[in-house]
Structure 1
Amino acid sequence: MKANAWPLIRKRKNPGGSFAWMVDCGMVNGKRTRYIFASKQAADTKGQQLRVQRVNEGKSALSISAPDRIDAEAALAILKPLGKTLREAAEFFSLHVEIVDRKMLIEELVRELLENKKRDGASYRYLKDLKTRLGIFAAAFPAHEVIAFSSAQLDDWLRALPVGGVTRNNYRRLLGVLFNYALNRGYRLTNPVKATSRAKEIDKPPGILLVDQSERLLESATPDIVPALALGLFAGLRPESEVWKLDWSSIDFESRLIDVAADRTKTAKKRFVKIADNLVQWLLPFYQKSGPISPVGDAYFTRLQKARTAAKIHSWPADCLRHTFGSMHYAHHQNLGESMAEMGHTNPQTFLKHYRERVKPKDAARYWQILPPSAPGKVVPMVAAPGT
Structure 2
Amino acid sequence: MPRSPKLAPYYDNTRGKWVVNVSATISASGKRERVFFDRGAEDEAKEYARRLKAGREHFREKAKGIKPGLMEAAVKWEELAIEYGFRGFDHFCTEKFAELEKGAKSPKLSVLLNAFVSDNRKNWSDQYLGKRWKPFRRRLLDLEDETISHMNEEFWRAWMAAWAEEIKPSSETYNQQLGMVRSLFELSLAKKVFQVNPLENLVGAKERVKRAVPVSSPEDVLKLLLAAWEHDRELVPYFATCYFAGVRPDSEAKELRFEHYDWKEGHLKVGITKTNHLPHRYVPIEDALRAWMQPFMRKKGSIIPSNFKKRRRRLIYGGYTTPGAKLSNEATWKPLVIWGHDITRHSYGSYWEGLHRGEAGSREKIVANMGHEDFKTFDRYYKNTRTRKEAEAYWDIRPPASASKVISIA
Answer whether TM exceeds 0.5 for this pair. yes
Distance 1:358 1:326 in 2: 9
Residue 368 of structure 2 is matched in structure 1 by 344
Q: What is the CA distance between 1:87 and its match in structure 2?
A: 1.6
- What corresponds to 2:207 in structure 1? 201
Alignment partners' CA distance in 2, 1:103 and 1:356? 43
**Alpha-carbon contact 1:225-1:304 (below 8 Å) kept:** yes
- State the distance in 1 between where 2:144 and 2:190 align: 23
Q: How far did 1:140 drift?
A: 4.5
> How far did residue 156 of structure 1 move?
1.6
Equivalent residue runs for 1:127-276 within 5 Å? 128=129, 131-141=133-143, 143-149=145-151, 150-157=155-162, 159-160=164-165, 161-181=167-187, 184=190, 186-188=192-194, 191-202=197-208, 204=210, 207-211=213-217, 212-215=219-222, 218=225, 219=227, 225-239=235-249, 242-252=252-262, 255=264, 257-260=266-269, 268=279, 270-276=281-287
1:176, distance to aligned residue in structure 2 (A) = 0.8
Q: SS of the counterpart of 1:243?
A: helix
Which sections of structure 2, spanning at least 5 residues, go unmatched?
Answer: 1-27, 32-62, 319-334
Q: Would the alpha carbon gap of residues 74 and 64 (structure 1) be closer, same or farther in structure 2, given more than 3 Å must change?
A: closer
Once residues 72 and 226 of structure 1 are traced to their aligned partners in structure 2, the CA distance between those partners, rounded to angstroms, is: 82
Separation in 2 of the partners of 1:30 and 1:88?
10
Alignment of 1:305-384 (within 5 A): 311=335, 316=340, 319-332=342-355, 336=359, 341=365, 344=368, 358-368=385-395, 370=397, 375-376=400-401
In 2: Cα distance, 1:309 partner to 1:209 partner: 17
Amino acid across the alignment from 2:192? G
CA displacement, residues 323-372 of structure 1 (integer Å, 9 cap, x when unaligned): 21122234346673586546625977887788888223443344345556
CA distance in 1, matches of 2:78, 2:311: 62
Q: Are the aligned partners of 1:123 and 1:240 in contact in 2 as well (CA < 8 Å)?
A: no
Match of 2:124 in 1: 124
CA RMSD of superposed structures (Å): 4.9
2:108 aligned with 1:105, yes or no? yes
Q: CA deviation at 1:178?
A: 0.8
Residue 259 of structure 1 aligns to a residue whose secondary structure is: strand
Find the aligned partners of 1:179 and 1:133 in 2 and give their Cα distance: 19
Q: Give the whole-Å Cα distance in 2 for the aligned partners of 1:376 and 1:30.
A: 82
Distance verdict in 2 for CA 1:165–1:305, change over 3 Å: farther
TM-score (norm 2): 0.58
- Tell me: CA distance 1:323–1:181, structure 2 relative to 1, closer, same or farther (3 Å): same
* CA 1:272–1:109: 2 relative to 1, 3 Å: closer
Residue segments in structure 1 that go unaligned for 5+ positions in a row? 1-28, 33-56
Q: How many residues align?
A: 319
Q: Is the 8 A contact 2:252 2:271 kept in 1?
A: no
Is contact 1:228–1:293 with CA below 8 Å preserved after alignment?
A: yes
User: Where in structure 2 are the equivalents of 1:15-164 lying within 5 Å?
Assistant: 62-64=68-70, 69=73, 77=80, 80-102=83-105, 104-117=107-120, 123-125=123-125, 128=129, 131-141=133-143, 143-149=145-151, 150-157=155-162, 159-160=164-165, 161-164=167-170
**Offset of residue 175 of structure 1:** 0.6
In 2, are the aligned partners of 1:294 and 1:300 still within 8 Å (CA)?
yes
